Amino acid sequence: MRHLTNIVSAFAAVLTLIAFAPFARAQQQAPPLQVKPLTGGVYWTQGGDGGNTGIIVGKGGVIVIDAKTTPASAKEMLGDIAKLTTEPINTVIITHSDQDHVNGLAAFPSGLTIIAQENCKKEMEESESSKNPAPADRMPTKTYDKKENTTIDGVRLELLHVAPAHTSGDTIVYIPAQKIVFTGDIIATQFPYPIIHLEKHGSSEGWIQTAKALVALNATTYVPGHGDLQTKEDIQKRIDTTVARRAEIKKLVDEGKSLDQVKEALGEPNTPSRFPTFTEVVYKELSTKS
């Protein structure tokens, strides 16, 4: 009997390991953090825990764009910045309020200037009651509404908020001298269509307006919130496919189709996803209007 019990226990242990293997792999899926040079003292990071980030080495200080998900990943990034320059980090610009772009702020030194669009600050403050709140002691210290032209540590920047898009508080960071744009999650290349957070008052129509503003900038390099570098042509192609898909969804909604029928007509799988799909978002927007 004891032998049988041991066999059963061993079998159960194997099943447990098998069951938890996908979870363990998921915990190890974050690729290594890499710092990649652009031009004129501008760098971007890819990998680690969280979205892509920007690093601008100016005269007397460093500007960081977005802050990773966790303090540990942010500390790794800060260590890599220290290898680039001895200049201190004076400023952080937040492109939007999602935790994978702001929660790493907890690892940054105190006393920084933290800049965000005013709605982004509201969303960060409102996250206090959520499961993963933004660091309460690293809230934005400076906000703007639609446009902010500024020079920080000798670097001229344009901060632009066109309309609610991915969230209600998106910021485009444009560096005219280098023709570089940091888009935040307005562009996230791992998804074929935009990710819109309706719970943060994002908008598919606002996304289209915002993406068109990206293309209108005199820029050659676009650093997305997730994924590889993009060109103006890449952004325009994404706009074209998004506009076409939104028109298809609208036509089906106008015909009285249900969400499941819309998905079936578009050949989309009706399976749960981490975020509401573009089709689900647009369907909800249009259904609410009608």
DSSP string of 140-189? -SEEESSEEEEEETTEEEEEE--SSSSSTT--EEEETTTTEEEEEEEEET
Specify the pLDDT at position 102.
98
Q: How many helices and strands, by DSSP H and E, does the chain display? A: 8, 12
Mean pLDDT of all residues in 257-284: 93
Terminal-residue alpha carbon distance, the chain = 68
Euclidean distance between CA atoms 104 and 49, whole angstroms: 9
Least confident of 15-19, 73-77, 185-189: 15-19
Radius of gyration of the chain from its Cα atoms, rounded to whole angstroms:
22
Q: pTM for the whole thing?
A: 0.89
Pairing of strands 113-117, 142-144: parallel
Query: Distance of CA 186 to CAs 47, 105, 141, Å?
Result: 18, 21, 23
Q: How confident is the model at residue 205 (pLDDT cuts 50, 70, 90)?
A: very high
Specify the pLDDT at position 20.
38
Euclidean distance between CA atoms 149 and 28, whole angstroms: 40
Query: Distance of CA 126 to CAs 112, 120, 135, 139, 199, Å?
Result: 21, 10, 11, 11, 12
Euclidean distance between CA atoms 286 and 246, whole angstroms: 10
Domain ranges of the chain: 32-289
56 in Cβ contact with 38 (< 8 Å):
no
Specify the pLDDT at position 288.
85
**CA 22 to mean position of chain CA atoms:** 25
- Classified as helix, coil or strand, 75 is helix
Of 3.60.15.10, 1.10.15.40, 2.40.420.20, 3.60.40.10, the CATH number of 32-289 is 3.60.15.10
Euclidean distance between CA atoms 261 and 251, whole angstroms: 12
Task: Tell me the pLDDT tens digit for each residue of 131-144.
Answer: 899 999 999 999 99
Euclidean distance between CA atoms 245 and 250, whole angstroms: 9
Task: Tell me the pLDDT tens digit for each residue of 10-42.
Answer: 433 333 333 333 333 334 477 999 999 999 999
Q: List the one residue out of 67, 66, 62, 103 whose CA is nearest residue 83.
A: 62
